Amino acid sequence: MSSVPSRRTKKRNAFGATSPPFIDYLKDILRRYPDGGQILKELIQNADDAGASEVVFIHDERTYKKDSLLSEDLGQYQGPALYAYNNAVFTEEDWLGIQATGRSIKRNDPHRVGRFGIGFNSVYHITDVPCIFSSKYIGLLDPQEKIFGDGEGGFRWSLDNDEDRNLLITLRDQFQPLRDIVKQVSDKYMGENHRRGSVFQRDSFSVSFAL
């Protein structure tokens, strides 16, 4: 007689640690990373780890149109916003790290003091949907998965992809805030290359789920 446990027995006897729901984990991160000036410090630290030599924070008090948006629910984010610009460009590793909540890509690098996958999430104290524009990519994060539905936690578009580029042009109101802020800082900080550097956008009037 075989002593190998059956699949049913294995399932009945299954025992092991489980990961918490993502939102619960994010709430715990926010408790460990307080709001206020600490948020700006985290972004400065991330910029320093990326090799940036300049960091600029901008509060845009303008309100933008809501006619052409990815989702009607994004209309609430067309109001005043806080932007953080630095003159370093995201690497593919950085894009992966910003999605890896609680799993920092910096943990094995003694020369990088920050925790990109963790510290960045302090921005959820002041926004539910942060937006990132760096090099050829624009990324929008929705960890609560309320904006796009179907379990989508956000999207990233490439300016080098024809389909993505046409979408960005069609949804003009959605991305007009980024166009305006890039134009504002380009002459002084970006020079002729408007795709150099990284811009983070955070709506300053949203209510974070974790609060």
Complete DSSP assignment for 45-93: HHHHHTT-S-EEEEEE------SS-S-GGGGGGSS-EEEEEES----HH
User: Could you tell me if residue 14 is inside a domain?
Assistant: no
User: Could you tell me if residue 146 is inside a domain?
Assistant: yes
C-alpha dihedral over 167, 120, 128, 196, to 10 degrees?
Answer: -30
Closest Cα partner for 87 from 123, 54, 115? 54
User: Could you tell me if residue 197 is inside a domain?
Assistant: yes
User: Could you tell me if residue 143 is inside a domain?
Assistant: yes
User: Could you tell me if residue 104 is inside a domain?
Assistant: yes
Biggest alpha carbon–alpha carbon distance for the chain: 79
**pLDDT given at position 167:** 92
User: Could you tell me if residue 51 is inside a domain?
Assistant: yes
Question: Could you give the CA distance from residue 43 to residue 167 in angstroms, rounded to a whole number?
Answer: 29
User: Could you tell me if residue 8 is inside a domain?
Assistant: no
Read off the CATH number of the domain in which 125 is found: 3.30.565
User: Could you tell me if residue 2 is inside a domain?
Assistant: no
Question: Could you give the CA distance from residue 169 to residue 192 in angstroms, rounded to a whole number?
Answer: 21
Could you tell me the residue range of the domain that residue 142 belongs to?
A: 20-203
Domains contained in the chain, number: 1
pLDDT tens for the chain, 211 residues: list them: 556 556 665 566 667 666 667 777 777 777 777 677 788 888 888 888 888 888 888 888 899 999 999 889 999 889 888 899 998 888 888 888 887 765 544 545 544 444 445 667 888 888 888 999 988 899 998 888 888 766 788 899 999 999 999 998 999 999 999 888 888 887 666 554 444 577 777 654 332 222 2
Residue type, 19: S
pTM comes to 0.74
